[in-house]
Chain A
């Protein structure tokens, strides 16, 4: 069975992975009727987001039917959407965090 992603709201342009996905087909479930498939362009971990459409740089990323931030570069359908290509409209700090672990880098100088 291919890995699954869950779309919360019909207006969303991202879905959340319910399983770890290698590059390849992902089954889309959730609020949109009928099972659909979307090809993951890269490995995406469970809990992380996959783009459901091509997003231009600056486009609103929509989840829960509401904007959660903006794409900071063009994002292709099927790509992993996270700290490297999506930024909050409010929080400056999150863009500097490690994209795998979420660990901060801006306080490294304090660890002496």
Chain B
């Protein structure tokens, strides 16, 4: 059997969700609805490996942030949800619990003010989270799963000269493998595709995709012009990157070589198998654009909101972040970074530059690692307990979700 056929035939046991999607983890998610509830939410999850936390800091609510939280709460890796509010904010924990219950998952909620403060809320929350865990461990159906059931996201950050040379192309080689196996692959950062319009459109799978890609590109370019900000940082320049076009081509390499099926937005799942681009750029509205991806974690949360059970993160200079809900897998094209930060780095694509490995071999090795992680082996950030998240105010027009927060 060829390496590609072996990857395609890999199988493991996953968790079947009521919507038919399959998860590789079975987690309880604590969702807080204002910064004031953040400490209590984290105290509830402290010391619990399978209880993760996300939340929104604003008191005034935001449709984008609600959609994002609901997409994460109904993610294939999530079995149950506990929603925690202070008691006077706009975002409603009860409505979040209702939407999650409507998805067939158990969910609980409470207001800290009604329970009588920190100590009582943490104790009650820990008790609820443990009961939810017991319930999903007993009740979640197990199901056979393979690469065709996987959605994998790819993001890059802390880039240097090796990210475009080896790290991103290795992820691109894996994405080709995943797409050929019938899976879904998503990459984003349309503001990092500036200068590549012709490249991008040439990859469209059909006329509809061409139209979506042209619109996403035009919006990203307008965004960059209006905010006078291209997605490059001083660290990128110090690392040897000189222009946004150069960084764009290096970032685009993680999309591999297969046709692009279309554009999805934050909290929207791919509409079929294949390679997809996510548009996470804010739409223009009365408060101007706002920011697109203010940090790497924000972009990773966007990809997870599309249902990615695993996200690949390419970092040349070295990053120590992780993510809740879906394991983050760290790839570096820089052998020195891999050696210096081996505790944090899952995959050394720098071997491509050393001539020890071809790009195709790197893609297959990455495929083997993804299968091991899908089977339950923790990724490095997962093992270290990294669960950074970032949910912000943003304005995006998205197709109405069947179950919005107006239940």
Chain A residues with CB below 8 A from B253, complex form: 64
Whether the pair B245, A16 counts as a contact (CB closer than 8 A) is no
A79 on the interface (CB 8 Å rule)?
no
B164 on the interface (CB 8 Å rule)?
yes
Interface size class of B (residues with CB under 8 A): 20 to 34
Distance, CA A63 to CA B241, complexed state (A): 11
The digit string for B254-284, where 1 denotes a CB below 8 A from any CB of A, is 0000000000000000000000000000000
Whether the pair B246, A69 counts as a contact (CB closer than 8 A) is yes
Q: A63-B249, A91-B244 are in contact. Are A104 and B234 (CB under 8 A)?
A: yes
Distance, CA A92 to CA B34, complexed state (A): 39
B interface vs A, CB < 8 Å? Answer: 160-162, 164-165, 194-196, 199, 224, 228-230, 232-246, 249-250, 253, 316, 353, 355
Minimal Cβ-Cβ distance residue in A for B355: A29
B209 to chain A, nearest CB (A): 21
Whether the pair A89, B195 counts as a contact (CB closer than 8 A) is yes
Whether the pair B162, A89 counts as a contact (CB closer than 8 A) is no
Distance, CA A99 to CA B32, complexed state (A): 44
B130 to chain A, nearest CB (A): 49
Minimal Cβ-Cβ distance residue in A for B232: A94
The digit string for A93-112, where 1 denotes a CB below 8 A from any CB of B, is 11001111111100000000
Whether the pair B230, A94 counts as a contact (CB closer than 8 A) is yes
B129 to chain A, nearest CB (A): 44
Distance, CA A68 to CA B232, complexed state (A): 14
Chain B residues with CB below 8 A from A64, complex form: 164, 246, 249-250, 253
Distance, CA A66 to CA B165, complexed state (A): 14
The residues in A between 59 and 102 inclusive whose CB is less than 8 angstroms from any CB of B are 63-64, 66-69, 81-83, 86-94, 97-102
Distance, CA A8 to CA B352, complexed state (A): 12
A47 on the interface (CB 8 Å rule)?
yes
Contact of A91 among B196, B232, B316 (CB under 8 A): B232
Whether the pair A83, B242 counts as a contact (CB closer than 8 A) is yes
Q: A6-B165, A16-B161, A94-B232 are in contact. Are A88 and B244 (CB under 8 A)?
A: yes
Minimal Cβ-Cβ distance residue in A for B238: A102
A105 to chain B, nearest CB (A): 11
Chain A residues with CB below 8 A from B245, complex form: 66-69, 88-90
Chain A residues with CB below 8 A from B230, complex form: 88, 90-91, 93-94
Chain B residues with CB below 8 A from A82, complex form: 237, 240, 242
Distance, CA A1 to CA B239, complexed state (A): 23
Closest 10 CB pairs of A and B: A102-B237, A47-B161, A47-B240, A102-B234, A68-B246, A88-B243, A64-B249, A48-B240, A69-B243, A102-B238
Minimal Cβ-Cβ distance residue in B for A88: B243
Distance, CA A93 to CA B233, complexed state (A): 11
For the A-B complex with A16-B240, A81-B242 known, give 18 more contacts whose Cβ atoms are closer than 8 Å: A6-B353, A46-B161, A47-B162, A47-B316, A64-B164, A64-B250, A67-B245, A68-B242, A69-B242, A82-B240, A86-B243, A88-B242, A89-B245, A90-B243, A91-B232, A94-B242, A94-B244, A100-B238
B358 to chain A, nearest CB (A): 12
A45 on the interface (CB 8 Å rule)?
yes
A4 to chain B, nearest CB (A): 8
Whether the pair B242, A66 counts as a contact (CB closer than 8 A) is no
Minimal Cβ-Cβ distance residue in B for A85: B242
Chain B residues with CB below 8 A from A89, complex form: 195, 243, 245
Would you list 20 pairs from A and B whose C-beta atoms are within 8 A, ordered by A residue?
A: A16-B161, A29-B355, A45-B240, A46-B240, A47-B162, A48-B240, A64-B246, A66-B249, A88-B245, A89-B245, A90-B243, A91-B230, A91-B243, A91-B244, A92-B228, A94-B243, A97-B237, A101-B238, A102-B236, A104-B234
A5 to chain B, nearest CB (A): 10
Whether the pair B242, A47 counts as a contact (CB closer than 8 A) is no
Chain B residues with CB below 8 A from A104, complex form: 234
Distance, CA A64 to CA B316, complexed state (A): 17
Distance, CA A80 to CA B353, complexed state (A): 20
Whether the pair A83, B228 counts as a contact (CB closer than 8 A) is no
The digit string for A8-26, where 1 denotes a CB below 8 A from any CB of B, is 1000000011100000000
Chain B residues with CB below 8 A from A88, complex form: 195, 230, 242-245
Distance, CA A69 to CA B160, complexed state (A): 18
Contact of B234 among A48, A86, A87, A101 (CB under 8 A): A101
Interface centre among B234, B240, B242 (most CB of A within 10 A): B242
A17 to chain B, nearest CB (A): 7
Q: A16-B165, A17-B161, A47-B161 are in contact. Are A93 and B228 (CB under 8 A)?
A: yes
Chain A residues with CB below 8 A from B160, complex form: 47
Distance, CA A88 to CA B230, complexed state (A): 11
